Amino acid sequence: MASDHSIFDEMFGTDNQVREPYDEYQGWIEQEDAARLRKKSLESEAFFRRTGITFNVYGREEAAERLIPFDIIPRIINAREWARLSRGIEQRVQAINAFLHDIYHRQEILRSGRVPAELIRNNEAFLPQMIGVSPPGNVFTHIVGTDIVRTGENDFYVLEDNARTPSGVSYMLENRETMLHMFPELFAQIKIKGVSDYPKNLRRSLTACVPPACSGAPVLAVLTPGIHNSAYFEHSFLADQMGAELVEGHDLRVVDGRIAMRTTRGYAPIDVLYRRVDDEYLDPMNFNPASQLGVPGIMDVYRAGGITIANAPGTGIADDKAIYSYIPEIVEFYTGEKAILKNVPTWRCAEAEALSYVLDNLEELVVKEVHGSGGYGMLVGPAASKRELAAFTKKLKTNPGNYIAQPTLSLSTVPILTKKGLAPRHVDLRPFVMVSPQRIDITPGGLTRVALKEGSLVVNSSQGGGTKDTWVLEE
């Protein structure tokens, strides 16, 4: 496999020598027939199609539902690497939870000057309706998907903290299921940490956060915007795997100070609602009055302790890319420790000096919207045309506060299977974190997203990326 020696490949390093985490796998794949591997690759696609794993792409008339391409070459992380990543993720999630509690209560971090108050005050993700509210167990972010990139043997960076409604966990689970089905001999030979207990752990984690009004066994439901949502497969999959009810806004109403769902025997109260609906659409009486997706009055029930909403409303402020640039200070402020995982260096375009630097170096930088997600509304300078650069220059000058910029990192690569054999492609990693009052659980591995186009750095499925199974080796 030919590789660019300036880019770190997780299987072959920078010198084409197989790295230790891949030793056993390399021994196996060398014995494999290329035709059999290609056949298995086609089988995996059929397996996904049968299971019905699709996602919707907005604004694409010809392809409303698509399969996310799956590559059969796993990404492998050893126990030592994973232990370090886990410690860093746990520290970060603890700090984010503490930060959210603080900014909706005493706002000590703002008073200390460590985070500028206007970043919170003028932020659409900050919900005044949450001021003074303490969620059950003081957990704001019940589920977090931390996006991590790697640039070298020991160099990991957090790209973003998905603390609103992180998606992709169903792909992590189905990727593993597919690999177990196709290569059982590999799992007998190599000791890999399991991921299949995620739904059981998620149920346990969520029901540990019951509201004061709960009596008896907690009732759990997943709130979906409905079948047209891009992640609907995941919503129904998780509800099914957790043994939870799958509900839409029109199935729910306020009954006797509780949120109750329609059943064949009338309305029954719900204790914990895992919502996959954005804040704005959650409650037409408190937020967007035109919303058909939420539940009128749910915020009043929530504030009165009648229901747990996961993730808590208002957690989106921690996802904000301008706030992201302060996470190292946030970690230190609430934990008293330096951040174990580094942030990507970030220029805040709201600051005149930073804006000037960004405009001068636009063709070398990645520029992102402060509230953006899914790879939309961003500029990848090195891949942009002159026209795109000019259009973005205009946007930055018109509304600089809406953007941050970062250097183009040389993301690590992991081989994918192509018609010509193994070829390196850039990857990122989204580990999934579950937070309950007593503990933080991190599923070993997570979702590896891979840019399938040669040289591309964009891994988002909505932009043509694929996924891989992520193996964390046992000690």
Instruction: Give pLDDT tens digits for 182-204.
Output: 999 999 999 999 999 999 999 99
What mean pLDDT do residues 141-146 have? Answer: 97
Separation between Cα atoms, residue 459 and residue 172, nearest integer Å? 15
Residue type, 387: R
The pLDDT value given to residue 2: 47
Instruction: Give pLDDT tens digits for 419-440.
Output: 889 999 999 999 999 999 999 9
| Paired tokens of 268 | 């029954």
328 has pLDDT over 60: yes
Separation between Cα atoms, residue 335 and residue 91, nearest integer Å? 8
Q: Whole-model pTM?
A: 0.92
Domains and CATH numbers, the chain: 20-211+307-341+409-472 (no CATH), 346-407 (3.30.1490.270)
The answer to whether 74 and 473 have CB atoms below 8 angstroms apart is no
Radius of gyration of the chain (CA): 23
Q: Looking at per-residue confidence, does 51 or 405 come out higher? A: 405
Which residues are paired to 222 by β-bridges?
246, 274
* Residue 23, CB-side half-sphere exposure with 13 Å CA sphere: 5
* Residue 51, CB-side half-sphere exposure with 13 Å CA sphere: 23
What mean pLDDT do residues 251-280 have? Answer: 96
Separation between Cα atoms, residue 411 and residue 465, nearest integer Å? 14
Consecutive H or E run containing 44: helix 34-51
Separation between Cα atoms, residue 324 and residue 31, nearest integer Å? 46
Give me the sign of the Cα torsion angle 443, 91, 429, 85.
Answer: negative
Phi, psi (deg, nearest 5) at residue 71: -105, 135
When pLDDT is cut at 50, 70 and 90, the band that residue 15 belongs to is confident
* Mean pLDDT score across all residues of the chain: 91
The pLDDT value given to residue 58: 41
The answer to whether 316 and 304 have CB atoms below 8 angstroms apart is no
The pLDDT value given to residue 170: 92
Which residues are paired to 472 by β-bridges?
77
What mean pLDDT do residues 12-28 have? Answer: 94
What one-character-per-residue DSSP string does 190-252 give?
Answer: S-B---TTHHHHHHHHHHTT--TT--SSPPEEEE---TTSTTHHHHHHHHHHHT-EEE-GGGE
Separation between Cα atoms, residue 34 and residue 184, nearest integer Å? 18
What mean pLDDT do residues 267-276 have? Answer: 97
What mean pLDDT do residues 160-169 have? Answer: 90
Beta strands in 328-402 (DSSP E): 342-343, 347-348, 365-369, 379-380
Which residues are paired to 356 by β-bridges?
none
Phi, psi (deg, nearest 5) at residue 163: -110, 5
Q: Residue 424 in 3-state DSSP?
A: strand
The pLDDT value given to residue 267: 95
- CB within 8 A of 351, min separation 6: which ones? none
| Paired tokens of 422 | 């193994």
Cα angle 118, 391, 61; round to 5 = 100
The pLDDT value given to residue 264: 92
The pLDDT value given to residue 60: 42
What angle do the packed helices 352-360 and 386-398 form, to 10 degrees?
170
Instruction: Give pLDDT tens digits for 44-77.
Output: 988 887 776 655 544 444 444 567 889 999 999 9
The pLDDT value given to residue 77: 98
If one counts every other C-beta atom within 10 angstroms of the C-beta of residue 180, the result is: 15
The pLDDT value given to residue 59: 43
162 has pLDDT over 80: yes
Contacts 24+ apart (CB under 8 A), 452-455: 452/69, 452/71, 452/416, 452/425, 453/425, 454/423, 454/425
Instruction: Give pLDDT tens digits for 82-111.
Output: 999 999 999 999 999 999 999 999 999 999
The answer to whether 279 and 286 have CB atoms below 8 angstroms apart is no
The pLDDT value given to residue 136: 96
Q: Looking at per-residue confidence, does 463 or 356 come out higher? A: 356
If one counts every other C-beta atom within 10 angstroms of the C-beta of residue 29, the result is: 17
344 has pLDDT over 60: yes
The pLDDT value given to residue 457: 78
The pLDDT value given to residue 356: 95
